[in-house]
Amino acid sequence: MSASERPDASPWWASAVFYQVYPRSFADGNDDGIGDLIGVRAKLPYLKALGIDALWLSPFYVSPLADGGYDVADPCDVDPMFGTLADFDAMLADAHELGIRVTVDIVPNHFSDQHRWFQAALAATPGSPERARFIFRDGCGPNGDQPPNNWPSIFGGPAWHRVASTGPDDPGQWYLHIFAPEQPDLDWTNPEVPAEFERILRFWLDRGVDGFRIDVTHGIAKPEGLPDMDPALIEQLAKHEHGSLMTAGKDLRFDNDGVHEYHRMFRRVLDSYPGERMAVGEAWVPDHERLARYVRPDELNLTFNFELLEAKWDDVEFHEAITRSMAALADVGAPCTWVLANHDVDRVVSRYGGGALGLARARAAALVTLSLPGAVYVYNGDELGLSNVGLPDWALQDPTWERSEHKDRGRDGERVPLPWSGTARPYGFGSDPQATWLPQPEGWGLFTAEAEDADPTSTLWLYRRALAMRAATPALLGSSFEWLDAPEGALAYRRGDIAVVMNAGPVDVPLPAGEVLLSSGPLAAGWGTPAGAGVAGGGSSLPTDTVAWIRTA
């Protein structure tokens, strides 16, 4: 739909459905067991049929893959494992041809330790301009052999790594890495750093990308003087669920006011290009009023509302997360950005209880996010209803596993290569079942895109129907929203003439009068036509763990 056809002439991204491709795991185009850009290009017709508006590609840049590509050694080139710049251009051209926008990841908090800048910094001496692009400090203690402060790495262990001495007066400095040691943090107060990122943004914008997802955008400004953290918070972080960077209290390393100046630079660059280029921020900021600052009119266009991702499958938690997210961003006039999963958190089916129960709830939750006002992100494989995979120790690759001394298994379970076809591994992800970069499970034959395409009650068809209906229903694309009264355990809201009812309680709840357009599972009165479409709502009721969209009179 063009801007003029959209209900309120808002930009495309304000109500877009984005699909996150984790390139290593999405589709393998050259049969080496690793996903790549040729694979993405080959699956564009699948994505078109799914009905998404835009892609977000996680990093495919030159990288030693110490953190799955979020350790970028050359942000302006494609890693040979993923293909070439020509493959990227061909994929982008085909996507645009199909009307699919393409956004890519920008990782501004750190580079890979293999980046030429960091290699030059290691070769240079303390106080040099090469070291000033990163956060090098002298250590504490008599020989400088204690880290400069008590910060822990998000992946476990200390956030400082000591480098070799460069001469008799240099005992060996330490550099900061909030994530893995292979991801040295950049110093954004050094003007060379924002200038380099402006160059990187322009490189991709010039190639034609429609926007960016900005990694850890709440972390790029460090607190003045790098003060110690509260030890109690450090203890709390050690127990933290992997992936989520949200803390209840204030983690002084994140959400410092300095970040906003850098966001204004990003926005200035985006707005200097035609065609509504955009940026979405990955900002784990629990305080809503502070999160709203990320999407002020001259800053990022969108910022993920992670509160819903963190909510349990529960009507009260959903109600609070939705209300608070909407209220916060309404003040700055920015749309919400709903997301239930990404490559950092357990898959929705697993978080909501696993198995048939988790799947029913994940399908239901998808009909919630897809009917809320704002933009929505879908993580690859969620449209197939995939669960996390329990992987053997030997297969684990996430740095979290080693750095947490084998306490946290990390994020590989949600990154297993997608099943496309057939009944046995590798399910059309290349042809060698031993070659996939993470082992696939038995039993995924029922969850392949091919099998689900043939089954009108599948999760794939639920997503296709929901996306098609959303695109064709102005009320769902606009901003009008109103809570409706709902029985205990349930949640109900109205978007124009569409009512949405979610039942997270233990008993069936009555549905409002009207036509059931879509339901996430069978209604008490049965499925009706495929996936519940066209069932008369009056008189029927909504079972536990089900969501329905109803056109009211």
Which positions lie near ligand GLC, rule CB under 6 A? 67, 70, 107, 179, 215-216, 282, 343-344
CB of 509 to ligand GLC, least distance (A): 37
Q: Is residue 36 part of the contact set for Ca ion (CB under 5 A)?
A: yes
Binding partner selected for residue 470 from Ca ion, ligand GLC, none, CB under the kind-specific 5 to 8 Å limit: none
In the β-sheet with 490-495, what is the strand arrangement from edge to edge? Answer: 482-484, 490-495, 498-503, 546-551, 515-519, 535-536
* Residue 426 preceded by cis peptide, ω within 30: yes
Binding partner selected for residue 344 from ligand GLC, Ca ion, none, CB under the kind-specific 5 to 8 Å limit: ligand GLC
Helical axes 259-271 vs 192-207, angle rounded to 10°: 30
CB of 130 to ligand GLC, least distance (A): 22
**Would residue 215 show up in a list of annotated catalytic residues for this protein?**
yes
Backbone angles phi, psi at 140, to 5 degrees: -95, 175
Closer to ligand GLC by CB, 161 or 425: give it.
161
Active-site position among 210, 215, 299, 398: 215
305 strand-pairing partners? 338
**Would residue 282 show up in a list of annotated catalytic residues for this protein?**
yes
CB of 34 to Ca ion, least distance (A): 4
Binding partner selected for residue 179 from Ca ion, ligand GLC, none, CB under the kind-specific 5 to 8 Å limit: ligand GLC
550 strand-pairing partners? 499, 516
Binding partner selected for residue 531 from ligand GLC, Ca ion, none, CB under the kind-specific 5 to 8 Å limit: none
The tokens for 288 are: 């809503």
Q: Is residue 408 part of the contact set for Ca ion (CB under 5 A)?
A: no
Among residues 1, 10, 30, 252, which is the contact residue for Ca ion, using CB under 5 A?
30
Is-contact 461 477, C-beta < 8 A? Answer: no
Closer to ligand GLC by CB, 415 or 495: give it.
415
Q: Is residue 190 part of the contact set for Ca ion (CB under 5 A)?
A: no
Query: CA 197, 72, 28: angle at the middle one, nearest 5?
Result: 125
Give SS3 for 446: helix
Distance, in Å, from the CA atom of 95 to the CA atom of 89, rounded to the nearest integer, reads 10
Kindly indicate which of the ranges 30-38, 94-102, 180-188, 322-330 contains the residues binding Ca ion, using the contact rule CB under 5 A: 30-38
Handedness of CA 146, 149, 151, 153 (dihedral sign): negative
- Return the residue nearest Ca ion (CB atom): 36
CB of 41 to Ca ion, least distance (A): 12
Binding partner selected for residue 107 from Ca ion, ligand GLC, none, CB under the kind-specific 5 to 8 Å limit: ligand GLC
Backbone angles phi, psi at 328, to 5 degrees: -65, -50
Closer to ligand GLC by CB, 154 or 516: give it.
154
The tokens for 135 are: 């956060």
- Of 121, 180, 172, 119, give the one whose Cα is nearest residue 147: 172
Active-site position among 79, 113, 282, 398: 282
Binding partner selected for residue 315 from ligand GLC, Ca ion, none, CB under the kind-specific 5 to 8 Å limit: none
Burial of residue 441 (CB within 10 Å: 0-12, 13-18, 19+) is: middle
Q: Is residue 261 part of the contact set for Ca ion (CB under 5 A)?
A: no
The tokens for 492 are: 């109900």
Closer to ligand GLC by CB, 111 or 549: give it.
111
Q: Which residues are catalytic?
A: 215, 282
Chain residues in the site for Ca ion (CB under 5 A): 28, 30, 32, 34, 36
